């Protein structure tokens, strides 16, 4: 602290890498291509677990816990990303015939538009 009681003016923020800056900037443009932070995180999360063009089996509850959001928010985000052609879903069924958690994958459209999110 200085004599006036204020904290030192040293920059205590961690330095960001260029990869971090690219990720943060992806989808921030104005207009229809803009993505919310939750949308960016969801796309990035699905892509990071995706092997090739395969689907990732994960429940909305698991996504919500991982991203620190409620299930309803994840439901709205997934719905919006599906409408925009950025995420695809596939219904899955258990041995007894009942539906279980969907599987998700990031589309080639999302990979082309937002390459920083899908590394």
What pLDDT tens digit does each residue of the chain (119 aa) get? Answer: 445 555 555 555 566 576 656 655 665 655 677 889 999 999 999 998 887 668 999 899 999 999 999 999 999 999 999 999 999 999 889 999 998 888 999 999 999 998 888 87
pTM greater than the 0.75 cutoff:
no
Distance of CA 23 to CAs 2, 5, 41, 101, 119, Å? 36, 37, 10, 28, 10
Q: What is the predicted pLDDT for the residue at 27? A: 57
Asked if CATH classification 3.40.50.2000 holds for the domain at 35-111, the reply, yes or no, is no
What angle separates helix 71-83 from helix 60-67, to the nearest 10 degrees?
110
């Amino acid at each position: 602290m200085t004599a006036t009681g204020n904290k030192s003016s040293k920059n205590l923020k961690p330095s960001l890498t260029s990869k971090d800056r690219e990720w943060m900037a992806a989808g921030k443009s104005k207009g229809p291509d803009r993505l919310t932070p939750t949308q960016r995180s969801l796309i990035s999360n699905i892509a990071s677990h995706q092997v090739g063009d395969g689907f990732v089996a994960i429940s909305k509850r698991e996504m919500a816990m991982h991203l620190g959001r409620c299930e309803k928010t994840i439901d709205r985000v997934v719905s919006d990303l599906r409408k925009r052609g950025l995420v695809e879903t596939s219904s899955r069924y258990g041995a007894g015939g009942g539906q279980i958690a969907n599987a998700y994958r990031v589309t080639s459209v999302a990979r082309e538009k937002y390459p920083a999110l899908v590394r």
